[in-house]
């Protein structure tokens, strides 16, 4: 199998982006500088959007959705890296990688599209076309830990700085894609206004079969029993971790250096306990209550 997807980038270490504010949301400068193109993106009625705050299980959902649409055909789902099969809508970079929109425009319908944008920045055409969207939300503490490690490895986001600095920036919403709190609340509030399936990472971990069936139903796909079993297996952490078409090892180390930390890092619930100090946890809980206390969006306890 040809795994050298980006030979021209093999020896390159790309510049990390600066964050720029777009309607008060920090985004990589590449995205902000190309915003008109994103904003004017024309969705089609059968486009399926997968939307998450970063590090909440979007790659997992991309793989699940592709496996469902390919009826569990493992070879078809290895046709390209996951970021080509389900491109990131707002992806722009400082090098020769194709932009998300270039990839999407080459796709046959029904197209599967991923975004980490907060709902207010999603191009209007998705709602004008009444597109469906699948949201995956993950508890804030594990998202924060996963995001910190991702920043250490990936040059598509700024340097993380020290853990305690990153921790503070995350709470203050000063990281790429902005406030976790606003992001999840925004999508939660939209779930009854659009055709939205709102899922939780922790629920998929607890019972992948149950959640995969919800996704299949939402996609109006009827799956045979053996196909369901296959999809549960192929989308498990253990299998995806070793699948080059899902684990991002097709990206050169100058973009994502997985010698520092794997993209498929742990895939667990509650890893925050290995990172938060007692004092940090208290601060975090107090701040969390102020941000989320009034919302009907409740995450399960991951103590
Ligand atoms: P960790 O860093 O905690 O391991 P995203 O795809 O949105 O960037 O999210 C990445 C996070 O989802 C990482 O979390 C990654 O390991 C986890 N993940 C990816 N595939 C998974 C799977 N099949 N099962 C459980 N977790 C998965």
How do residues 44-84 score in pLDDT, each as one tens digit?
999 999 999 999 999 999 999 999 999 999 999 999 999 99
- Which atom in ligand 1 lies closest to the alpha carbon of residue 56? 7
Whether 10 is covered by a domain: the verdict is: no
Q: Tell me if 300 is assigned to some domain.
A: no
Residue 81 lies in a domain: yes
Q: What is the pLDDT of residues 171-218, one digit of tens each?
A: 999 999 999 999 999 999 999 999 999 999 999 999 999 999 999 999
- Token pair recorded at residue 143: 């998202």
Q: Give the closest residue (by CA) to ligand 1 atom 19.
A: 60
> Counting beta carbons within 10 angstroms of the beta carbon of residue 265, is it exposed (0 to 12), middle (13 to 18) or buried (19 or more)?
middle
Determine the structural domain holding residue 135 and report its residue range.
Answer: 34-292
pLDDT at 3 over 60: no
Q: Quick check: helix, strand or coil at residue 83?
A: helix
Question: Which protein residue has the closest C-alpha to ligand 1 atom 25?
Answer: 267
From 145, 264, 266, 273, the mutation candidate for ligand 1 (largest count of ligand atoms within 8 A of CB) is 264
pLDDT of residue 207: 98
Q: Strands 112-115 and 132-137: what pairing?
A: unpaired
- Please report whether residue 13 resides in a domain: no
Distance 200 CA to ligand 1 centre (A): 12
| C-beta of 266 in contact with ligand 1 (< 6 A) | yes
Mutate to test the pocket of ligand 1, among 59, 215, 249 (most ligand atoms within 8 A of CB): 59
Q: Measured in angstroms, how far is the CA atom of residue 183 from the centroid of ligand 1?
A: 18
CATH number at residue 51: 3.40.50.300
Who contacts 168 (Cβ-Cβ below 8 Å, separation ≥6)? none
CA distances from 132 to 29, 45, 113, 116, 219 (A): 29, 8, 11, 16, 9
Question: Does residue 3 sit within a domain?
Answer: no
* Residue 6 appears among annotated catalytic residues: no
> Can you name the residues that pair with 22 across neighbouring β-strands?
25
Task: Report if residue 16 sits inside a domain.
Answer: no
Testing ligand 1's pocket by substitution, the residue of 50, 51, 55 carrying the most ligand atoms inside 8 A of its CB is 55
Task: Establish whether residue 115 lines the binding site of ligand 1, counting it when its CB lies within 6 angstroms of any ligand atom.
Answer: no
The model carries a pTM of 0.97
Determine the distance separating the centroid of ligand 1 and the alpha carbon of 241, expressed in angstroms: 9
Contact between 151 and 27 under an 8 Å Cβ cutoff? The reply is: no
pLDDT level of residue 246 (50, 70, 90 thresholds): very high
Confirm or reject: Cβ of 125 under 6 Å from ligand 1: no
Q: How far is the CA of 108 from the centre of ligand 1 (A)?
A: 27
Rounded mean pLDDT, 114-135: 98
What is the distance in A from the centroid of ligand 1 to the CA of 125? 29
Q: How many domains does the chain have?
A: 1
Asked if residue 151 has pLDDT above 60, the reply is: yes
Taking 60 as the threshold, does the pLDDT of residue 2 lie above it?
Answer: no
User: Sorting pLDDT into bands at 50, 70 and 90, what band is 97?
Assistant: confident
Residue minimizing CA distance to atom 20 of ligand 1: 60
Classify residue 189 as left (phi > 0), alpha (psi -120 to 50) or beta.
alpha
Q: Is the peptide bond before 110 cis (omega within 30 degrees of 0)?
A: yes
Specify the residue with its C-alpha closest to ligand 1, atom 2.
146
């Amino acid at each position: 199998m040809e795994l050298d997807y980006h030979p021209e980038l093999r020896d390159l270490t790309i510049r990390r982006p600066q964050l720029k504010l777009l309607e008060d949301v920090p985004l990589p400068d590449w995205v902000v500088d190309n915003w008109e193109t994103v904003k004017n993106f024309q969705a089609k009625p059968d486009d399926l959007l997968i939307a998450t705050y970063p590090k909440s299980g979007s790659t997992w959902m991309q793989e699940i959705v592709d496996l469902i649409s390919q009826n569990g055909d493992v070879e078809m789902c290895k046709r390209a890296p996951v970021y080509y099969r389900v491109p990131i809508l707002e992806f722009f970079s400082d090098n020769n990688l194709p932009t998300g929109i270039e990839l999407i425009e080459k796709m046959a319908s029904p197209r599967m599209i991923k975004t980490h944008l907060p709902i207010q920045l999603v191009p209007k055409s998705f709602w004008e076309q009444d597109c469906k969207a699948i949201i995956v939300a993950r508890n804030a503490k594990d998202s924060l830990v996963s995001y910190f490690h991702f920043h250490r490895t990936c040059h598509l986001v700024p340097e993380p700085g020290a853990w305690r600095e990153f921790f503070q920036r995350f709470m203050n919403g000063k990281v790429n894609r902005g406030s976790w709190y606003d992001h999840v609340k925004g999508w939660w509030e939209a779930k009854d206004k659009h055709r939205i399936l709102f899922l939780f990472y922790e629920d998929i971990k607890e019972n992948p079969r149950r959640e995969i069936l919800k996704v299949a139903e939402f996609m109006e796909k009827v799956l045979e029993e053996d196909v369901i079993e296959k999809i549960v297996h192929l989308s498990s952490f253990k299998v995806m971790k070793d699948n080059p078409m899902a684990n991002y090892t097709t990206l050169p180390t100058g973009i994502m250096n997985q010698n520092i930390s794997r993209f498929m890092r742990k895939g667990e619930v509650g890893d925050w306990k290995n990172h938060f100090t007692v004092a940090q946890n208290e601060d975090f809980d107090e701040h969390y209550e102020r941000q989320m206390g009034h919302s009907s969006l409740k995450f399960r306890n991951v103590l």
